[in-house]
Structure 1
Amino acid sequence: MTTSRAATALADATFFPFWLDRADAPAASDPLQGRTRADLLVVGGGFTGLWAAILAKESDPSRDVVLIEADRIAHGASGRPGGIVSTSVMHGLGNAARIFPRDIRALEALGHDNMAGFTDTVWRHDIQADLEWTGEMTVAVSDAGLPAVQEEYELHRAHGHDVALLDGPQTRAQLDSPLFRGALWSRKNSGIVHPARLAWGLRRAALALGVRVHEQTPMTGVDDRGDRLLVRTRDGAVETPRVLFATNAFAAGHRRIRSRVAMVRDRILTTEPLTAEQKAAVGWANRQGVYDTRTQLNYMRLTPDDRILFGGRLGYFMNSPRDPALDRTPEPYLRLADAFFATFPQLEGIRFSHAWSGPIALTTRMAVHFQTYHGGKAVYAGGYSGFGVSASRFGARVGLAKLMGQHLPETGMEFAATEPNWIPPEPFRSIGAKITMAALDGADSKGGWRLPWLRLCSKIGFPLS
């Protein structure tokens, strides 16, 4: 049940990502016109594609790398997330323990190595991405959420993380909400970043290294020519022996990819900049990125100009449209706005400046995986269901190693050598998604059939409860 308060707060919102709404956004590079050759083609100009292009050129400066992007850099998913970064490469430590318990220590080490490489690249290429090492918190929004926070705390402690377990007053001293009953605060190697500025900085670095970048160049087909592939685009083609499909939720590259990947839309709001009085009312002096324990999870952070970003309401559209018309209207954001005001009642009267949705790639692992096509000449790297801003570098590195035939220790690990479970096609996918979204909406307040349904989803591979 939505309120008039939510509708009023959204009345003047721009239905476009706050991160992309900048006068200093770079002009798009020229589309590919005509036919060309390359040693490596990267399809997709999001984080995975940009990291892959940079890593490929830095490992071999003589390698001719072409990157094509269907729209503009950062306009697909990479300019739309919350922008919380951490050492996790498998959608959180808890998820890594769920899906790959035998490899958890190795994955933890790889995650720390990945974050070191992430920060080194940002420093070496002078990428101005508003990166703040503020840590992250997982907060219990009721007493029912405290066992989950305790479990996460013990897991993080067991793997050497610098974490603190906060009680209710300690949590509210960090970020004041009457809902918060306790929290896990992970204090090192995590923080917040401006995702669009990061993507644009990676684009600039790739161009400086000699990557040929073509935006507004949608792929239209792939022809296998034996020893190489011909990737057709709207106005041209690329002939190449190796292709990395860095298309994540869009699942472009091969029709089979979608049998493992479903696109789900994640909705986000940003407020107007907080006044000094409003900042004092919420606290948040340490500016952590925050996740809560609601079944329909919410996450939140401060932007560089002190707006509150508040996200986490999921939606599904049949056949995965690139830019759903409904998400450019207030309706999908009303319940999210109500959740915001329930979390921060002291901000009564604040307005939302921006509202948007972004595509996430839902799989039964909730984490990056790899699919190989055309006899090894093409690899898909994707499946980020969140946590992808930093994990995308890891996915790009492992995807490139598989594509190039490099035998790294991690390419033989289970996460790299196997795929997630199959997901039913349409119309069954839409039917299941509709039931699941309804269950998520009412699980905490109404219970009933919703909890058994979500437990069933977890049993078949989607950890939604």
Structure 2
Amino acid sequence: MQTRAELALNDTTFFPFWLDRQDAPAPAAALVGATRADLLVVGGGYTGLWAAIQAKEADPARDVVLIEADRIAHGASGRPGGIVSTSVMHGLSNAQRIFPGDLEALEALGHDNMAGFQSTIERHGIEADLEWTGEMTVAVSKDGLPAVQAEYDLHHAHGHDVELLDAQQTREQLNSPLFEGAIWSRKASGIVHPARLAWGLRRAAIALGVRLYELSPMKGIEDQGATVLVRTRDGVIRTPRVLLCTNAFASGHRRIRSRVAMVRDRILTTEPLTTEQRTAIGWANRQGVYDTRTQLNYMRLTPDGRILFGGRLGYFMNSPRDPETDRTPEPYTRLAEAFFTTFPQLEGIRFSHAWSGPIALTTRMAVHFQSYHGGKAIYAGGYSGFGVSASRFGARVGLAKLMGEDLPETRMEFAATEPNWIPPEPFRALGAKITMAALDGADSKGGWRNAWLSLVTRLGFPLS
């Protein structure tokens, strides 16, 4: 007999909900033959798109080429939850963990980035279903209350418009028997349609004169003195500057992977809720939500009234681009069970879509920069979440470093240093397997699992 989670996955489409649209743009032509450019951007996700737009807006005469291995938004940028915030370092608490001395400056940069994010969307008329609904972090059981209190204290101390909710107030916002309290950050955060945002940025880049080539995977990069030569499947580009916006795919130089590991994040969307189901859960204010489980879950409502529920991590040795296993029900059954435990009043609902997306795990959990070929190539990546809006910031700083601009932020620690080294395969896969097993049982079983997660945290990964 099938479990309730298995039943709910019987008719699921294993493809990102955001990308499953009739209005998806047709891909641009692939690069064929040789060309030159003043600037080459490798990667057509958010970072690459933001970089191309900012480069052209700063200098309309600059010849900018952007190449994408697949189609725009089909890597990671069409797959996330789509919650946006002012953080540029994977959340305020993570910024405090890694760069406590720069916290005030990073906060200011984050608010400036969000203003620029909004301005660009308005200036280019990008329709991305952007809703400024705020975001909540909810305590799952009373064990999560200290973490929520700490988040409230930190956000309040840094001037955020936040409200601390007790169990009843939290359930009035979003009704789950698991939720014992929450922090609601009200301003400059909310939810967006990830694919529509990426496609809108794509259109804006083309309108500015960016030369876009899709279906053009980079096959190699060579330093040729004053320029670098980048080879694609069917073409070559000669350029004095390359911005590598390949995030979890870590393409551009084999050393990038010594600091970046690709982890898969799983996501479900339900079928559209009925009026009765919407009444049963509340959620009238449509906030983006994170919870305090060790195997963290996040959730939001889609524009057409579905629940998106994500957060179970997985790792595959050698980081395949699109693992076949994640196109089957098995990796999603525990996530589905967590959904029904969170919302028992929705038992019987079906999941319309299930997919995984690649995130870049580093010891910082946030964007960093690596320099290659005498500074002619810069890698800008490392987003482990919070990247929908922070990618604009990463693109701006990456471009400044590539162009040799002397900005205050390019001299800050986050821009001038790299995350710690990560062991190679097969040790990476072994460590990941143990860590995923520990995450799965830490909240309910503890024991060696908590000890292992504490060790991983001391090594620099804040997983517990």
Shorter chain as denominator, the TM-score bin is over 0.9
Q: Return closer, same or farther for 1:264/1:3 CA change in 2, 3 Å cut-off.
A: farther
What whole-Å deviation, never above 9, does each CA across 1:145-168 have from its counterpart, x for those lacking one?
000000000000000000000000
Percent of paired sites with the same residue? 82
What whole-Å deviation, never above 9, does each CA across 1:177-210 have from its counterpart, x for those lacking one?
0000000000000000000000000000000000
- Structure 2 distance, partners of 1:224, 1:463, is 37
What residue in structure 1 maps to residue 321 of structure 2? Answer: 322
What residue in structure 2 maps to residue 94 of structure 1? Answer: 93
Q: Secondary structure at the match of 2:443?
A: coil
What residue in structure 2 maps to residue 244 of structure 1? Answer: 243
What residue in structure 1 maps to residue 80 of structure 2? Answer: 81
2:192 is aligned with 1:193: yes
What whole-Å deviation, never above 9, does each CA across 1:313-351 have from its counterpart, x for those lacking one?
000000000000000000000000000000000001100
Deviation at 1:441, TM superposition (A): 0.0
What residue in structure 1 maps to residue 379 of structure 2? Answer: 380
Instruction: Check whether the contact 1:133–1:190 (CA below 8 A) recurs between aligned residues.
Output: yes
- Structure 2 distance, partners of 1:149, 1:59, is 41
What residue in structure 1 maps to residue 293 of structure 2? Answer: 294
Q: Equivalences for 1:148-227 in 2 at 5 Å?
A: 148-227=147-226
What whole-Å deviation, never above 9, does each CA across 1:337-384 have from its counterpart, x for those lacking one?
000000000001100000000000000000000000000000000000
- Structure 1 distance, partners of 2:140, 2:77, is 29
Q: Return closer, same or farther for 1:3/1:166 CA change in 2, 3 Å cut-off.
A: farther
Deviation at 1:51, TM superposition (A): 0.1
What residue in structure 1 maps to residue 282 of structure 2? Answer: 283
What residue in structure 2 maps to residue 367 of structure 1? Answer: 366
The one-letter code matched in structure 2 to 1:40 is: L
What residue in structure 2 maps to residue 255 of structure 1? Answer: 254
What whole-Å deviation, never above 9, does each CA across 1:29-61 have from its counterpart, x for those lacking one?
000000000000000000000000000000000
What residue in structure 1 maps to residue 120 of structure 2? Answer: 121
- Structure 2 distance, partners of 1:141, 1:323, is 32
What residue in structure 2 maps to residue 31 of structure 1? Answer: 30
2:104 is aligned with 1:135: no
- Structure 2 distance, partners of 1:5, 1:145, is 27
Instruction: Check whether the contact 1:16–1:328 (CA below 8 A) recurs between aligned residues.
Output: yes
What residue in structure 1 maps to residue 449 of structure 2? Answer: 450
Deviation at 1:82, TM superposition (A): 0.1
2:40 is aligned with 1:41: yes
Q: Secondary structure at the match of 1:323?
A: coil
The one-letter code matched in structure 2 to 1:195 is: P
- Structure 1 distance, partners of 2:208, 2:86, is 26
- Structure 1 distance, partners of 2:348, 2:327, is 22
- Structure 2 distance, partners of 1:273, 1:342, is 19
User: How many equivalent residue pairs?
Assistant: 464
What residue in structure 2 maps to residue 20 of structure 1? Answer: 19
- Structure 1 distance, partners of 2:190, 2:223, is 43
What residue in structure 2 maps to residue 436 of structure 1? Answer: 435
- Structure 2 distance, partners of 1:4, 1:452, is 32
The one-letter code matched in structure 2 to 1:32 is: L
Q: Secondary structure at the match of 1:443?
A: helix
Q: Secondary structure at the match of 2:444?
A: coil
What residue in structure 2 maps to residue 399 of structure 1? Answer: 398
Instruction: Check whether the contact 1:43–1:67 (CA below 8 A) recurs between aligned residues.
Output: yes
- Structure 2 distance, partners of 1:298, 1:40, is 39
2:420 is aligned with 1:421: yes
Instruction: Check whether the contact 1:15–1:356 (CA below 8 A) recurs between aligned residues.
Output: yes
- Structure 2 distance, partners of 1:73, 1:247, is 12
Q: Equivalences for 1:55-70 in 2 at 5 Å?
A: 55-70=54-69
Deviation at 1:118, TM superposition (A): 0.2
- Structure 2 distance, partners of 1:9, 1:397, is 43
- Structure 1 distance, partners of 2:250, 2:381, is 8
What are structure 2's unaligned runs of at least 5 residues?
A: none
Deviation at 1:3, TM superposition (A): 6.5
Q: Secondary structure at the match of 2:179?
A: coil
Instruction: Check whether the contact 1:302–1:308 (CA below 8 A) recurs between aligned residues.
Output: yes
- Structure 2 distance, partners of 1:288, 1:457, is 31
The one-letter code matched in structure 2 to 1:75 is: H
Q: Secondary structure at the match of 1:138?
A: strand
- Structure 1 distance, partners of 2:222, 2:404, is 21
Instruction: Check whether the contact 1:43–1:244 (CA below 8 A) recurs between aligned residues.
Output: yes
Instruction: Check whether the contact 1:300–1:311 (CA below 8 A) recurs between aligned residues.
Output: yes
Q: Which runs of at least 4 in structure 1 moved beyond 4 Å after TM superposition? A: none
- Structure 2 distance, partners of 1:168, 1:422, is 41
The one-letter code matched in structure 1 to 2:24 is: A
Q: Secondary structure at the match of 1:425?
A: coil
Instruction: Check whether the contact 1:3–1:338 (CA below 8 A) recurs between aligned residues.
Output: no
Deviation at 1:395, TM superposition (A): 0.1
The one-letter code matched in structure 1 to 2:412 is: M
Deviation at 1:76, TM superposition (A): 0.1
What residue in structure 2 maps to residue 52 of structure 1? Answer: 51
The one-letter code matched in structure 2 to 1:353 is: S
Q: Secondary structure at the match of 2:356?
A: strand
Instruction: Check whether the contact 1:17–1:355 (CA below 8 A) recurs between aligned residues.
Output: yes
What whole-Å deviation, never above 9, does each CA across 1:109-148 have from its counterpart, x for those lacking one?
0000000000000000000000000000000011010000
- Structure 2 distance, partners of 1:407, 1:51, is 20
What whole-Å deviation, never above 9, does each CA across 1:44-81 have from its counterpart, x for those lacking one?
00000000000000000000000000000000000000
